[in-house]
Structure 1
Amino acid sequence: MSAVGGYGWQVVLVVVLVLLNAAFSGSEMALISLRESQLQRLERQSRTGRTLAKLARDPNRFLATIQIGITLAGFLASAAAAVSLAQPLIGPLGFLGTAAEPAAIVLVTIVLTFFTLVIGELAPKRVAMQRAEGWALTVARPLDVLATLSRPVVWFLGKATDLVVRMAGGDPDAAREEVSTEEIRDMVAQQQEFTPEQRTIISGAFEIADRTLREILVPRRDVLILPAVMKSGEALQLLVEGGHSRAPVTGPLGLDDVLGVVHLRDLIGSDGHVIDHMFTPLFLPETLKITDALRQLRSQRQQLALVVDERGAIDGIVTMEDLVEEVVGEIYDETDRDVQSVVREDDGAMLLPGTFPIHDLPDIGVDLEEEDEGDYTTVAGLVLARLGHIPTAPGETVAIDGHTAEVVEVTGRAITRLRLRPVESEKPATVA
């Protein structure tokens, strides 16, 4: 009876040790799965969250503590089961003769390994991945206590691990590999919870990271300017007719003599001249990143900035709306008109302005090869680069990656309108 009772206690001990192994394995996966953004949120919410964040940011500490627990649990389970639990099986395996005891030990080891892998490793890790926050919060305090109690051992194991990591060419101070931009894009694409609008905003945020003002500015030939001596009423009419809320105020030399910027609302019901209502303009270099320009406009409380090239000449203007559009897509202020910049024709061709940005071509189905991208920011610049000269009349064509670009309209020395036609949709020549 006592033998049976002792055997039962050994089974209970093995079960407890396997469950302890499961707790440590799941805890390891839960802490590793937590992102920095989650840790920041959790540490603001509770004291336990702060304990968890401190623990998770010190992988040497929590990994060593967990590994000590897993190793001890596995070792004790094996020691308790290997020989003692095999004893009752020796009798039934007596037909094996002297091989009965080794066979019983092997059989018990296989069964124990199976339960340890499934119950002590795989299942808890899968559950911990699905419920990382809840699991991590539950074990944060116990793990912190264990890490404190085993600090000398953890310190020694941590230093030894750092040495091995350095020898392997790794960085012992890095918690994990940095997530690349492409990986984040893939994660966004795989998340079903995001709406199309949210995907557009997130994608736009990545796309503007390296984009400069030169790529999105309104060129100087398209900028509405208001002479400083113009009457307020006349200027107000020009702004309303042009669909603008702001415009540069200039001296006799035009955009090369900018005096300020005026807002439409300041002209309503006012007398006098434009110069009486203008405010100090903001100048930004054309090489400035869009994200930096956004910060400057916000800090200066400005909605419009003049873009200056390396020689100090005005290249054009950008507005807060232009910059935000790069992230969230087309938006409209109180004076904008609902005008489509691209007109699709029945045969598949597209009419677009010469100022259409190169970086927006993929949005209309035109993908440029990397080697074809040059020092231009608009489709007009691309066509000029391919032609090698300035067209004086409509009709000239060039090939652009599966499309034919036809010059439709030329104003002065600028290509102002083009037609893009897919090569496969071009009409075959008729035979007389």
Structure 2
Amino acid sequence: MQVSIIIASLILAAFFSGMEIAFLSANKIYLEIEKKQDSFLSQILKKLTEKPSKFIAAMLVGSNLALVVYGFFASRLILDLVLPYHLTVVSNLLLQTTIATLVIVFTSEFLPKVFFHIYANSLIRFFAFPAYVFYKIFYYISSLILWFSDMVLKKFFGTGSDPVQVFFSKVELGNFITEQMSSVDENEEVDSEIQIFQNALDFSGVKARDIMTPRMEISAIDIYAPVSELRELFIETGYSKILVYQESLDDIVGYVHSFDLFRKPRTIKSVLIPVEFVPQTIFIKDAMDQLTKKRKSVAVVLDEYGGTAGIVTMEDIVEELFGEIEDEHDEVETLTEQKIDDATWLFSTRHDVEYLNEKYDLDIPEGDSYSTLGGFIVDSLNEIPQKGAQFSIGKFRFSIEEATAKKIELVRMTVSD
């Protein structure tokens, strides 16, 4: 009988402490959605979350009662086991305390709290009914305890109890959407609304350097070049805007819109539109606000030395929210991604390092100064290698398959053990 009571007390203590953690750790969005379902379980969850402080207090009351019962019977059982050894009173007390504490810590505190924290959403739903039963049993005791604690706080400290947060946070919303997206099969398409929601949550943490068109891919023209050359550049690139520089790309003075060519300008300077400058560490939400207020659509992104790192447009920023916006002039870019053998790949250098690491488990170093595979190579070498060049960076062996004077386009990469 003693052993049965001890085991039952441990199970109940584990249940109460676990449900307390599960209630605090569960995703609020998940709980709200579950409560909206027309089922018996949804009604139970609705009642449990009506008064969060009382539910937590009820679980604490149950946990303490279970621990008291456990402590009483566990000490008697241990005493019966060690009685033949004729230990001193101090040794006996120390042994009882040590054994009882170790058992309760691991079986009813540490393990259940870790387990209920990891699987909070599932377990709070699974144990909702028994939790509600104990909630009603201890309702009046927990109400009395909360009333007494509020009275003490008001009388001696001049304050009430802290309100329990019942609304959900941005992080919880993001975690819930991420869980939903990860549950979708690779072959299935994610609803555009969910994708936009996910993009909106990530939007505030994206910086200009993450979405900018890098310096090596900028199409620009000298301010003193003839208008005919500018016209040819518009035809060649298909862009609606061309940046204009003076002497070098580090001194961009503005841009020209293709529409202005219909005015038949004599010089590029006569149709020049000023451009905004932003640091590469600026958040795109702030860059968007700056461009909107000044009614501009292009910003030059500056590096730490004041040189041109790239450009970012309003279209780039909007695409972070709504996905790629393509028009009739956009060419579909196909990035090479070919596995040659277990240790060798053929990659376009426009691939994001983060994407390659996640898909192929390559462990390519990630840095703030670059985001693509080409950026990693240039940042490591401090130069742009030409076609045919072979070199190693750490455990990676590269062979440049295609390149121009301004950028690397295709590389063969071999990973050594």
Q: TM-score range by the shorter chain?
A: 0.5 to 0.7
Q: Distance in 1 between matches of 2:153 and 2:328?
A: 60
Structure 2: which amino acid aligns with 1:416? I
Query: How far does the alpha carbon of each residue in 1:264-322 deviate from its partner, in whole angstroms, 9 at most, with x for none?
Result: 12223533222222222111111112332233333333221101122222222112222
Tell whether 2:411 aligns with 1:419. Answer: yes
1:10 maps to: none
Deviation at 1:34, TM superposition (A): 7.8
Structure 2: which amino acid aligns with 1:306? V
Query: How far does the alpha carbon of each residue in 1:344-384 deviate from its partner, in whole angstroms, 9 at most, with x for none?
Result: 4585844413x544344358x344548x3234412123235
In 2, are the aligned partners of 1:407 and 1:415 still within 8 Å (CA)? no
Structure 2: which amino acid aligns with 1:373? E
Q: Distance in 2 between matches of 1:307 and 1:215?
A: 11
Deviation at 1:219, TM superposition (A): 2.6
Query: How far does the alpha carbon of each residue in 1:104-132 deviate from its partner, in whole angstroms, 9 at most, with x for none?
Result: xxxxxxxxxxxxxxxxx949x8xxxxxxx
In 2 relative to 1, CA 242–286 (structure 1 residues): closer, same or farther, beyond 3 Å? same
In 2, are the aligned partners of 1:217 and 1:318 still within 8 Å (CA)? yes
Bigger Cα Rg: 1
1:175 maps to: 165
Alignment of 1:7-406 (within 5 A): 122=129, 156=147, 159-160=150-151, 172-176=162-166, 178=169, 179-180=171-172, 183-189=175-181, 195-198=189-192, 199-251=194-246, 253-333=247-327, 335-340=329-334, 342-344=335-337, 347=340, 349-353=345-349, 355-361=350-356, 365-369=359-363, 372-377=365-370, 378-384=372-378, 391=385, 393-396=387-390, 398=392, 405-406=398-399
**SS at the partner of 1:258?**
strand
Q: Distance in 2 between matches of 1:305 and 1:278?
A: 14
**SS at the partner of 1:196?**
coil
Normalising by the residue count of structure 1, what TM-score does the alignment of the two structures yield? Answer: 0.51
1:25 maps to: none
Deviation at 1:250, TM superposition (A): 2.4
1:132 maps to: none
In 2 relative to 1, CA 257–210 (structure 1 residues): closer, same or farther, beyond 3 Å? same
Q: Distance in 1 between matches of 2:380 and 2:303?
A: 24
Q: Distance in 1 between matches of 2:262 and 2:227?
A: 8
**SS at the partner of 2:253?**
strand
Deviation at 1:395, TM superposition (A): 4.3
Q: Distance in 1 between matches of 2:177 and 2:363?
A: 21
In 2 relative to 1, CA 332–190 (structure 1 residues): closer, same or farther, beyond 3 Å? closer
Contiguous gaps of at least 5 residues in structure 1:
1-28, 39-55, 68-120, 126-152, 425-432
Structure 2: which amino acid aligns with 1:318? V
Q: Distance in 1 between matches of 2:323 and 2:234?
A: 24
Share of identical aligned residues, percent?
24
Structure 1: which amino acid aligns with 2:348? L
Contiguous gaps of at least 5 residues in structure 2:
1-22, 33-48, 59-127, 133-143
In 2 relative to 1, CA 174–282 (structure 1 residues): closer, same or farther, beyond 3 Å? farther
Structure 1: which amino acid aligns with 2:163? D
Deviation at 1:259, TM superposition (A): 2.3
Q: Distance in 1 between matches of 2:362 and 2:151?
A: 52
Structure 1: which amino acid aligns with 2:212? L
In 2 relative to 1, CA 358–190 (structure 1 residues): closer, same or farther, beyond 3 Å? closer
In 1, are the aligned partners of 2:27 and 2:172 still within 8 Å (CA)? no
In 2, are the aligned partners of 1:57 and 1:175 still within 8 Å (CA)? no
In 2, are the aligned partners of 1:225 and 1:254 still within 8 Å (CA)? no
Aligned length: 285
Normalising by the residue count of structure 2, what TM-score does the alignment of the two structures yield? Answer: 0.52
Deviation at 1:241, TM superposition (A): 1.4
